[in-house]
Structure 1
Amino acid sequence: MFLDVLPFKNDTARLVRVYGDEPCITLPEALPAPEGGTLTITELGDYCFSEKPRGLPAPEELCRYAVEPDGTARLLRAFGRDLTGASHARYDLDFGDGEASTAARSGEEALHPLCGSFLEELVLPGSLRVIGSCAFYNCRRLRRLSAGAGELTMGSDVFLNCFALETLVIRARPEQDTGLFALVACITEAVQALFWPEGEVRPLAGLWYPAYWEDIEETPAHILLHTFSGQGYHYRQCFLDGKFLPVEYDAIFPQGHDADDANIMAMLCFDRLRWPWSLSSAAAEHYRAFLAANTGRVLARLLKAQDMDGLRALLALGVFDKDAFAAGAALAAKADNASAAALLADAEHKKFAARPNKKRYDFDF
C-alpha cells in the first residue's frame, strides 16, 4: 500500500490519496517525518477515496510512503525528491483503457488507486479528527468503516452514494467521546454502529440507526417547513458533547415505529438485548416484545450472513415460541444450513421437551 500525504508544520498530516491492490485496509496512525520524528495522520483530504479526486496538491508539496502489511512505513519521496534512487510507479487516476493510457504506463508498475467501488472495508487511524468533503464519494461497495475514540469534524457529502455502508465500528467504550454522532449525521440510510474497543472479544454495545427522509415544503407565505419521515433522525440526536445517551435512545422505541423498516427495527431490538449496555429492564421489555413477534426477520438476516454466533445469541434470549421455532426450521432448511437447523432443534427440545414424571412411592402395603 502507498500513501500520498500532505505534511503540516505541527507534525500532523493530511492523507491525500491511497494506492494498493487490497480492498480492505488499515491506515497507519504515524509515519516517519521527512526531517526526523513522526507525522500523525489527523485528516482525510477532500475526495480522498473518490475515483475522480479534485484539487490534489502538487507533487512538490507531498510525501509518498510505502506501508508494509505489518504497518511499517517507509518514506519514498519527499516534496518531489526521490529518496530511494529507483523509478516509481505512475498512477492513472482516470482509469483510461485506451492506447494512450497503456503507452503511458508501459514499463512501469501500475497500482490501483484505492477508491470508488474498489474500496470495501477501511480502518481509520485513532488519531483522525477531520474527514474532508466527499472523502468517500461513490465508494459504492464500502460496507464497513472503523474509527477510534475522539470527536470528528466532517465535511459535506462525505458518504455520497455509499449505498452498501452498513456497519460502523467505534473502537471505544460507549461512555467515551467519539465521532459516532458526526458519522451517523452524514448517513441517512440505515446503519449499524458497534462500540468495540480494541482487545475486546465482542462489542460492548450495538445500535441501529434507521433510515429517514427529509422533506422541505414552502408555504404560500414563503415559510419553509422542514419535516422528517421515520424515527431515524431522532435516533441520531441521542448524543451530548460527543457521548452516546442510552436512555434517550431507548425512549424513542415505545413512541412508535410504524414508518420504519420492520427488519431494521427487529435488528435494533436484537442488538440492544444482545449487548445490553446501560439497558433498563423497562426498555428491555419493549424490545423483547417486538423481537418475539419478529424473530423470523432477524433469523433470516443471520442465516444470510451465516452468523452462527448471532443465532446462538438470538436463541439465548428465549424469545422463540413453538410457531417461531417452526418458522425458523423452515428458514434454515431453505438456506440449506444444517448447523442452524440443529441449533434450533436443540433449543426447542430444551425449552419444550416434557419433563419426566418423578417416581412416587406408596409405603402403605
Structure 2
Amino acid sequence: MTAGQLTVADYDALARELDALRDEIFSDLGERDASYIHRVIRWQRGLEVGGRTLLMASSLPPAWIAGTVTLAVAKILENMEIGHNVMHGQWDWMRDPKIHSTTWEWDNVSPADQWKRNHNYLHHTFTNILGKDRDVGYGILRVTPEQEWRRAHLAQPLYNVLLAMFFEYGVAWHDLVVDDELEGEQREEARRAGKRAIGRKILRQWGKDYLAFPLLSGPQFLSTLAANFTANVIRNVWAHTVIFCGHFPGDIEVFEEERLDGETKGEWYARQLVGSGNISGGKLFHLMTGNLSHQIEHHLFPDMPSNRYAEIAPRVRALCEKYGLPYHTGSLSEQVTSTWKKIVRYAAPPKKAPRKKWTQSKAWATGR
C-alpha cells in the first residue's frame, strides 16, 4: 500500500492506533519520568555553574576552551531538552509550578509567551501548511518548489549561515505574531508591545552574558565576554541544525491550505508523519537535541515527555510500514547534507512549474 492509496477507513484506523499509543504512555507516567527531568535540570545547572566558574580564569586558553564548551552544553540543554519541552507542557502533569509551561522563561532572547503562540499553536497545528505554518523556511528561505521564488532567495545559502549563528534572534523576530483579528491601531499596538517584550528580553540576556558575568571576571572581562558570545553562537548553530534537519531534509512533504478542509484526526496524524524527519543517534545525542532527533514522534505528540520518544519510535515506524507511509530518518551528516542541498537548490529560480503532491488535495482519499 502507498500513501496515496489510503482510504478513509485507513486514516480512522491509524488515528485509533496512535491514540491508543498516546493513552498507554500517558497512563504510565510517574516517578521515573519526574526523576528524569529533575536530573537533567540538576546537570544543566551544574554545567552552567562549572562553565562560568572556569571562565573566571578565561585569560588562560585551557580554561577559556573548557569554560566555553561547558557553558555551551549547558545552554543547549536548557534551551532544547528543558526549555522547549517544558514550554510544550510535557511536564505539566507533575503540577510543579517551577517546571510548568505557564511559568518557565528560557535562556533565549525570544519571550516565552510569544514563542508558545507561534510554535505551540501555529506550527504544531498547521504543520507544513503553506501560508499557515510560518516555520516553512522561517519566512526567508525557500525550501520547497511550492514556495514562490524571489530574487532575494539567490543569497539564501549565505543568510542561512547568519541565521544559524544568530538563530535565537531570528526566532524572536519570527515569533512576533499578531492576532489576525486585530485591526488598525490595536494591531499596531500589539506589534509594538511584542517588539518591546523582545527588547526587554534582549537587554536581560545581554546584561547577563555580556556585562554581569564578564564584569565578575575582573581584568578578564573581554575574554569572558568573547567566551559567552561563542557559547551562544555554538548553542544557536546546534539548535538551528537540529531543527532544520527535523523539518527540511529529503522528501519532507508540504501542503496547500485546502489540505485542511475537513481534515480528520487520522489525516492530521498522517500529515505529521510525512512532514517530519528524524536523526539517528545514541542516548547522549538524543539528549543534546532535546529529543528533537525524534521529530516525527514529537510532531505526533508534542506534549508527551521527551524521554518517552525513543521508547515509542520503533512502534511509530512499524505503523508507518503498516500503512505505507514514509518514515524519514537518517544520520546527522545525511540530514544536514540533504537540508543544505535543498537550501542551495531552491535558491535558484525554478526551471519548471512546481510538482503536485499526493497530499495536496482530498482527491487521494477514497470516499471523499
Structure with more strand by fraction: 1
- Shared fold (TM-score, shorter chain, > 0.5): no
Larger radius of gyration: 1
Smaller-chain TM-score bracket: under 0.3
Q: Under a length normalisation based on structure 2, what TM-score does the superposition of the two structures give?
A: 0.20
Q: Under a length normalisation based on structure 1, what TM-score does the superposition of the two structures give?
A: 0.20
Structure with more helix by fraction: 2
- Ranked by relative contact order (alpha carbons within 8 Å, sequence separation 6 or more), the top structure is 2
